[in-house]
A and B are shown apart, each in its own frame.
Chain A
Amino acid sequence: MTQIGHNVSLPERARRIRRHALRMGEVQGQGYIAQALGIADVLAVSYFHATTYRPDDPEWESRDRFLLSIGHYAIALYAALIEAKIIPEDELETYGTDDSRLPMSGMAAYTPGMEITGGSLGHGLGIAVGMCLALKRKNSKAFVYNLFSDGELDEGSTWEAAMSAGSYKLDNLIGIVDVNQMQADGPSLGVLNFEPLGPKFEAFGWFVQRVNGNDIDALVTAFDAARHHQGEQPRIIICDTKMAKGVPFLEARERNHFLRVEPHEWAEAIRIIDAGVQA
């Protein structure tokens, strides 16, 4: 666990991550903000409870690797990386602009702390498998976390990786699936029904947990269990999240993969997040 800012509560971290994301969205006038708000609690627990890293040395050999398979969620991870002080906060004003280190889709070559190039969906879990195998060769104690989306469950490559992780008993792999029930063409289960999801991963040899991805206490428990599980098997935390979580007027908006936010609404959303200061 990284020893930074232990006086700040996880709900407050999540609130700040949401705030950073909204500010980036305001700069660009767009972004995958509903996904970012939905995954903020998972990122808060990942970066301020579960993973080990050095903010001033993002490629520190002993760090836990956190892979963002969903390049589209870059705005969310930038917010977490800013909160983790891997990226300076003033750079959020460059989000999506020319010459920025924070492009709209997450790419390893652009951003400190961005381990892989995501966006072509279904890559992350397989890359994680290779990293886990390599880390075992190096006798490293690091974990590889891979955050991927329910939409990526449609990709065959995800299941190639899932089967191999079970086959290789990769106990240094922790998958995190964001089940927000929304894909580009509509509700995820209407696109392709991936349920029952937990039993699928169980059948592939994984240690499976399913939690409310917006319940920080539940997430802490699940991440701890994933890290300390004794079985020689990969671990997955299936996180059911709510799109746009924390901004009720956006939560209530007709559900949409790429949420439309009017120019004046960004500031309103930030006001709501700020008003909900949590202990």
Chain B
Amino acid sequence: MRRSKYERPAHLLSGSDRPRLTTSAMIASIAGADQPTRAAPFGHALARLAEKDERIVGLSADLAKYTDLHIFRAAHPERFYQMGMAEQLLMMSAAGMAREGLQPWVTTYAVFASRRAYDFVCLAMAEEMLDVKIVCALPGLTTGYGPSHQATEDVAMFRGMPNLTIIDPCDALEIEQAVPAMAAHRGPVYMRLLRGNVPIVLDEYGYRFELGKAKLIRDGKDTLIISSGLMTMRALEAAKALQKDGVDAAVLHVPTIKPLDEATIIAECRKQNRLVVVAENHTVIGGLGEAVAATLMRSDVRPEGFRQIGLPDQFLEAGALPTLHDMYGISTAKVVDAIKGWLDT
């Protein structure tokens, strides 16, 4: 529980001067200090693809710069539509365009696409299997601005929507590969977007994105981490750290959350009796963790144990992202600590 707004900050009362991180810009970088990155991978990938595919148009709800769509806008100004800060209209108009044979790529923040525009995604698009791509920045806990901008339950909401494909890419390379795969898929797709200077992580693993496929990125005999999006990056970092402590962690990356690659998940869980840890940048309610749990239960797979790393069922605090990631257990250090604790090493 957050303290009462009538209590002043503790360090002011105690007179301590401990250094505190400050909340960064709306979209804090999730890249580590020495991590290689690529700028605006989504915007560049879409602009490239549009050169070959005349159907593609891009729509913004007054957030082009914050979703990397400004790159597309600069490359193809006549194919960019500014719909204003009107997310319902954003979805309705995209549905209308798709009905006329265009392939609209709509962009906004994940909170607005899910919470504000759900009915329009559901009935104007998904019910008709229209070919619209919804690409949304600020998934889960990727801003310190508080619940107004933190899409902690977008996957839970969208998983309940028939026909909708949901993907949660991990890094810049995967985003670049996901864009043409999304375009080739006929039907609505929701992508949780990392934008700005996006880390490059998967290059060292020889990974290729395939829509609908979970892939084992590294193997390990002690625990199997099943993860998506940002948390695959954390899981891979955690696995390296755990290795130094003699813990052998496998990482199964599940970028397509719906439809879920149940066969691969079941096969990996059956392969070896390990602790299964599902890590997601999302509330533990209704996301990848519960999807995996239900899959295993339905298939009579009983792993050594099952644990979730994810955001709590709370409205999260505002503050600096590293502080918040530690507080809610999704920083690399906290992932390492949690797994060690569960393995009792």
Contact = CB atoms under 8 A, between A and B. Distances in A.
Interface of A: 107-109, 115-117, 119-120, 122-123, 125-135, 137-138, 156-157, 160-161, 163-164, 167
B92 A129 contact: yes
Chain B residues touching A, majority SS? helix
A122 B124 CA distance: 11
Contacts of A128: 96
Contacts of B86: 160, 163-164
Given A156-B88, A157-B120, A133 B96 contact: yes
A194 to B, nearest CB: 18
Contacts of B128: 108-109, 117
Contact of A126 (B81, B96, B100): B96
B101 A134 contact: yes
Interface in B97-153: 97-102, 104, 119-120, 123-124, 127-128
20 contacts: A108-B128, A115-B99, A117-B123, A126-B89, A126-B91, A126-B92, A126-B93, A129-B92, A130-B92, A130-B94, A130-B97, A130-B99, A133-B96, A134-B99, A138-B100, A157-B89, A160-B84, A163-B84, A164-B83, A164-B93
Contact of A123 (B83, B94, B124): B124
Contact of A127 (B57, B92, B127): B92
B89 A133 contact: no
Given A123-B123, A126-B120, A131 B88 contact: no
B53 to A, nearest CB: 14
A139 B151 CA distance: 39
B95 interface: yes
A127 B84 contact: no
Contacts of A125: 92
Q: Which of A116, A119, A122, A133 has the most CB of B within 10 A?
A: A133
B101 to A, nearest CB: 7
A164 B99 CA distance: 19
Nearest to A161: B89
A131 B97 CA distance: 5
Given A164-B84, A164-B93, A127 B99 contact: yes
A123 B99 contact: no
B60 to A, nearest CB: 13
A117 B127 contact: yes
A70 to B, nearest CB: 14
Nearest to A142: B100
Contact of A133 (B84, B93, B124, B127): B93
Given A123-B123, A163-B84, A164-B84, A134 B92 contact: no
Nearest to A126: B92
A129 B92 CA distance: 8
Contacts of B124: 116-117, 123, 126-127
A135 B127 CA distance: 22
A186 B84 CA distance: 34
A126 to B, nearest CB: 3
Interface in B72-93: 81, 83-84, 86, 88-89, 91-93
A163 B93 CA distance: 13
Contacts of B88: 122, 126, 156-157, 160
A262 B209 CA distance: 61
Q: Which of A134, A135, A138 has the most CB of B within 10 A?
A: A134
Contact of A137 (B83, B91, B102): B102
Contacts of A119: 123
Contacts of B84: 160, 163-164, 167
Contacts of B96: 126-134
A130 B123 contact: no
Contacts of A129: 89, 92-93, 96
B98 to A, nearest CB: 8
A117 B124 CA distance: 7
Contacts of B120: 123, 126, 157
Contacts of A133: 81, 93, 96-97
Contacts of A127: 92-93, 95-96, 99, 124
Interface in B147-165: none
A130 B119 contact: no
Contacts of B94: 130
A125 B120 CA distance: 12
Contacts of B93: 126-127, 129-130, 133, 161, 164
A116 B120 CA distance: 12
Nearest to B104: A130
A109 B99 CA distance: 12
A137 B80 CA distance: 12
Contacts of A164: 83-84, 86, 89, 93
Contacts of A109: 127-128
A104 to B, nearest CB: 16
Contacts of B91: 126
B86 to A, nearest CB: 4
Interface string B231-257: 000000000000000000000000000
